[in-house]
Chains A and B, each alone.
Chain A
Amino acid sequence: MAIKVEEKQLTLLERLYVLEVVRGIALTTGHFFRNMAVHIARLFGLAKDKKGSTTFQYPEERRPLAPRLRTLHRLTRREDGAPRCVACMMCETVCPAHCISIVAGEHPNPLIEKYPTRFDIDLGLCVFCGYCVEACPEDAIRMDTGVLEFTSFSREGMVYDLNKLLARSETPKPNEESKVKTA
């Protein structure tokens, strides 16, 4: 079902253009001077309850990320360092972007039975919905690395394989959870 969008008709004054431009400049200038006043006042210890808008000096300075933000995927590890993933393909099945591809193999240990011999995520296709994390019955895939910059000069470079996805996971100690490797 398509939604019908009402088109807003411009009034005569708006169509005359110049007046609108002047109003726009007035708005930005107003913000500029208001911010400057707040920053100067705070410099002298005044207006503590007000906050002037600021600019992050990216990439030296970074915005703090919300803890639940969905960022670059990682595969968690078992205590022996192997991936927790059992290649059940729940994530592959649920993924709306069809960007996960897993090839399963027979694990020598019949208590593990199945493991991924290949695990590829094409981040060029991923829509960061996080369904894969929700679907996983093993807590084997997470999107908690906090990494937002994963660019590449090629499409192939956007495909993360098993090793790349495991690289950001620490091997947990007994009775501990797999954590994100820091730095």
Chain B
Amino acid sequence: MPTLTIDGQEVTVDAGTTVIQAAEQIGINIPRYCYHPGLSLAGRCRMCLVEIETFPNLQIACYTRAQDEMVVSTTSERVLSARQSMLEFLLSNHPLDCPVCDQSGECDLQNFYMDHGQYQSRFLENKVKKKKAFPIGPHVILDQERCILCTRCVRFTEEVSKSNELGVFNRGSRSVIDLYPTKSLDNPYSGNVIDICPVGALTEREFRFKCRVWYLASQESICTGCSRGCNISLDYNGSRRAYKAGGRRVMRIKPRYNPDINKWWICDEGRFGYGFIDTDRIETPMQRTTSDLEPSDWDPALARVAETVKAAYSEKGANGVGVIVSPQLSNEELLACRELFVEKMKLTNVAALNPWEEPGEADDFLRNADRNPNTKGVEDLGYSGDAKAVLEKAAEGEIEVLIIFRHNLADGEAGKLLEKAKFVVYVGTNWNATAERAHVVLPGATHAEKDGTFTNFEGRVQRFKQALLPIGDSRNDSQIISEMAAKLGYSLPASADEIFEAWKGISLDELSGSGSSVDPDTAVQA
């Protein structure tokens, strides 16, 4: 356990810790480009030079191991002038692209130059011209002129995605990052290179020019792409008029560091799979009057559901109503459903999982085959049985009213069964074939529009926070359930916070802090 002094502060660190990490532990952020905690050390950029007593030359903090009695300065005159010189080198061939560069506003070259820049250019020579703005994969655009050759992207494809698409070609000032011949940056984690590129050399094709980064607001959330539950930030259009980006609100998704789950990374499906939040949404409740679905207000739609449910209930008792909840719902919504349908109404036909669902692609890094964020939550909260049995009963006419949350059950075998169901209520966010054939459609909110928790496949209960208002007339599902309950003569809490507190004994805010997760083996458990 070496103890060293950094800028006059003493710190004791584990053996093997580097100076840059030791400095981070006491809140000193040494400027860096090539160093990334998730990648191997390269020592290329020379930006993290520090002065260490007894060493004649400046040392790079990312590569130097902390030793006992080391005295490090990160702010001495020599260090500052070294930083200035390094920036001068890096910028000698860097184009003045900031006005058209998407990274501008979150660019480390800009940021460090503001602190350590030379401001007066001494460079009289012509800049080396390289290839600008060309796609290197389905999601990424490369601008070789902007690259500062930190090789983070190369190391990522070598060490994390292990797909080896990128490399450094040529020498000296003519070095460029490029694809190896015949390759394309199309691995399932390719989007991460955009995040780790400290400058605007790698930009996101989906996000390009949609929005300036300083207009973005950000909220902590959980990816709903699979049962891994990667921690993400939802970046949404916070301050600009809606006609930008065609009314799209969520502009991009970035991974949020969580050492236990996704570290710094997320997969491309999760990163680019936010389209459903703003497209094809069900915006108002709908009722089938004669043959067509027509927009309706909440009150009559809910009243119709309640009436039909009551009629079925008085005719056939607890067997007359079937409910299929979904692993897309949050724990709080599942709890509300359980309380209303299982505990209060004592329904016998309650299912959750869709046996026909196509599994997604899985690998040994992040992606799980289960495409639902909350399958574990469904299991933990005691839902068993799958949709098939319930659908069959609905087709046979045993179940009079079928309430379906989220699932699309209109294809193939399920579709044939669903066709015969007498009265279908669909509670969901987006239009699909099931919604189109339902008798009453109630619009729910996506995870971007509500608060709640998902339980990932390891049993971590993780919080996602509300970023946006529910689109159109749609409502948060626990509110829908609570209102439906009121019409049926029960009283249920509507807010996720209340439900969570009753469940775990702590408030949602206490759970999250930074939106962190609860380990299944510690403290709070179901």
The residues of A with any CB-CB pair to B shorter than 8 Å are 86-90, 93, 101, 103-106, 110-114, 137-138
Which of A86, A101, A111, A137 is within 8 Å of B244, CB to CB?
A101
* Interchain CA distance A8-B210 in the complex, whole Å: 56
Chain B residues near A89: list those with CB within 8 A. 212
* Interchain CA distance A138-B240 in the complex, whole Å: 23
Among the interface residues B132, B209, B212, which one has the most CB atoms of the partner chain A within 10 A? Answer: B209
| Residues 322-333 of chain B, each 1 if its beta carbon lies under 8 Å from chain A, else 0 | 000000000000
B100 and A114: CB pair below 8 A?
A: yes
Near A by CB (< 8 A), chain B positions 201-228 give 208-210, 212, 214
| Residues 130-142 of chain B, each 1 if its beta carbon lies under 8 Å from chain A, else 0 | 0011100000000
12 further A-B pairs in the complex, CB-CB below 8 A; given A87-B100, A101-B243, A110-B134: A88-B99, A89-B212, A93-B212, A93-B214, A101-B244, A103-B244, A104-B210, A106-B208, A113-B100, A113-B132, A113-B133, A114-B99
Chain A residues near B212: list those with CB within 8 A. 89, 93
Given the known inter-chain contacts A90-B99, A101-B243, A138-B99, please indicate yes or no for A114 contacting B214, CB distance below 8 A: no
- Is B171 close to A, CB under 8 A? no
A136 → chain B closest CB, angstroms = 9
A114 and B243: CB pair below 8 A?
A: no
A140 → chain B closest CB, angstroms = 10
Given the known inter-chain contacts A101-B241, A103-B243, A105-B209, please indicate yes or no for A137 contacting B99, CB distance below 8 A: yes
Q: B132's closest neighbor in chain A, by CB? A: A110
* Interchain CA distance A104-B243 in the complex, whole Å: 12
A87 → chain B closest CB, angstroms = 7
Which of B134, B209, B240, B244 is within 8 Å of A114, CB to CB?
B209
The residues of B with any CB-CB pair to A shorter than 8 Å are 97-100, 132-134, 208-210, 212, 214, 240-241, 243-244
B244 and A106: CB pair below 8 A?
A: no
A95 → chain B closest CB, angstroms = 12
Chain A residues near B99: list those with CB within 8 A. 86, 88, 90, 114, 137-138
Chain B residues near A110: list those with CB within 8 A. 132-134
Chain A residues near B209: list those with CB within 8 A. 87, 104-106, 114
Interface class of chain A by DSSP: loop
Chain B residues near A105: list those with CB within 8 A. 209
Chain A residues near B210: list those with CB within 8 A. 104
Q: A88's closest neighbor in chain B, by CB? A: B99
* Interchain CA distance A90-B101 in the complex, whole Å: 12
B214 and A111: CB pair below 8 A?
A: no
* Interchain CA distance A105-B100 in the complex, whole Å: 11
B95 → chain A closest CB, angstroms = 10
Chain A residues near B133: list those with CB within 8 A. 110, 113
B457 → chain A closest CB, angstroms = 39
Chain B residues near A104: list those with CB within 8 A. 209-210
Chain B residues near A103: list those with CB within 8 A. 243-244
Q: A103's closest neighbor in chain B, by CB? A: B244
B103 → chain A closest CB, angstroms = 13
Chain A residues near B208: list those with CB within 8 A. 106
Chain A residues near B134: list those with CB within 8 A. 110
Chain A residues near B241: list those with CB within 8 A. 101
A-B complex: 3 closest residue pairs judged by Cβ atoms: A88-B99, A110-B133, A104-B209
Q: B96's closest neighbor in chain A, by CB? A: A137
Among the interface residues B98, B132, B208, B212, which one has the most CB atoms of the partner chain A within 10 A? Answer: B212
* Interchain CA distance A152-B133 in the complex, whole Å: 42
* Interchain CA distance A113-B146 in the complex, whole Å: 13
Q: List 22 A-B contacts (CB under 8 A).
A: A87-B100, A88-B99, A89-B212, A90-B99, A93-B212, A93-B214, A101-B240, A101-B241, A101-B243, A103-B243, A104-B209, A104-B210, A105-B209, A106-B208, A110-B134, A112-B100, A113-B97, A113-B133, A114-B100, A114-B209, A137-B98, A137-B99
